[in-house]
Amino acid sequence: MKKAKNPLVVGNWKMNPLSVSLSFKLAKEIKSLLSKKNPVTVVIAPPALYLETVKKVANGSHLFTLGAQNAYYEKLGAHTGEISIPMLKDIGVSHVIVGHSERREKGETDVAVNQKVLAVIKEGLIAVLCIGERARDSAGNYLTFIEQQIRSSLREVGRTKLEQVVIAYEPVWAIGAGVSATPEDVREMRIFIEKVLSDIFGRNYASKVRILYGGSVSEKNAKEIFVQGTVDGFLVGGASLHPREFVHIIKNVSSI
């Protein structure tokens, strides 16, 4: 399958930093380091409280767009503490991370993930669907686990809507552990994900889905994983909180 023309790098700040002023400073430094000729689509996903602050920093520059770390599938109603996708869309969010492993570990099911994916697509935004195994086994059972995640999460998604889906492969055992999957591991998984998508939607439609890697991505391993792992970009966690490292990862992708 052909590689996506425009690579994508998503910075997931998770529950960081500690204040509005620090989020402004972080976003501003990232912006100052990004090239105006950067061919990579950059998305910054701060905590929801800081979305407006990061939007002010972007100020229509198109150097990066806004991402959300999560959303609720209902539009409005008696859902205390939740944030709906239309609300996020209204303030300029373009991408929504769905099914991150840290949320799955807290009980989020494939059914809930599927509801969110469908709701994101319905609002015309892009769903960054996270999948990944907790551990690998010699029998290859983890591949069955990955396939089930894909099939469940994309249930009832129409073929023509696949351009609004990005899959982020993030092996749970690599997230925050300082140990990333090898480029060979990543390439194997990309091929497998493409096969599953082709089985479900057909090869031509499946080729429209960008596949990212997430899990201890750093400026040291990004280029090798991008090239040899043949991914379309990255979902970056901890490194996205360090502007120079984050932008270096982006430059590694843009230079290929």
Each residue's pLDDT tens digit, 112-162: 999 999 999 999 999 999 999 988 887 888 999 999 999 999 999 999 999
Whole-number pLDDT of residue 234: 98
Q: Of these residues, 102, 133, 170, 245, which one is catalytic?
A: 170
pTM: 0.95
The predicted-structure confidence for 37-72, as pLDDT tens digits, reads as follows: 889 999 999 999 999 999 999 998 999 999 999 999
How far apart are the C-alpha atoms of 68 and 98, rounded to whole Å?
Answer: 9
Q: Strand 126-131 vs strand 65-68: parallel, antiparallel, or unpaired? A: unpaired
Q: What DSSP letter does each residue of 26-55 carry, written as one string?
A: HHHHHHHHS-TT--SEEEEE--GGGHHHHH
Q: What residues form DSSP beta bridges with 65?
A: 43
Q: Of these residues, 100, 133, 245, 248, which one is catalytic?
A: 100
Q: Which two tokens stand for residue 231?
A: 């991914």
Whether 100 sits among the annotated catalytic residues: the reply is: yes
Rg of the chain over all Cα atoms, to the nearest angstrom: 17
Whether 79 sits among the annotated catalytic residues: the reply is: no
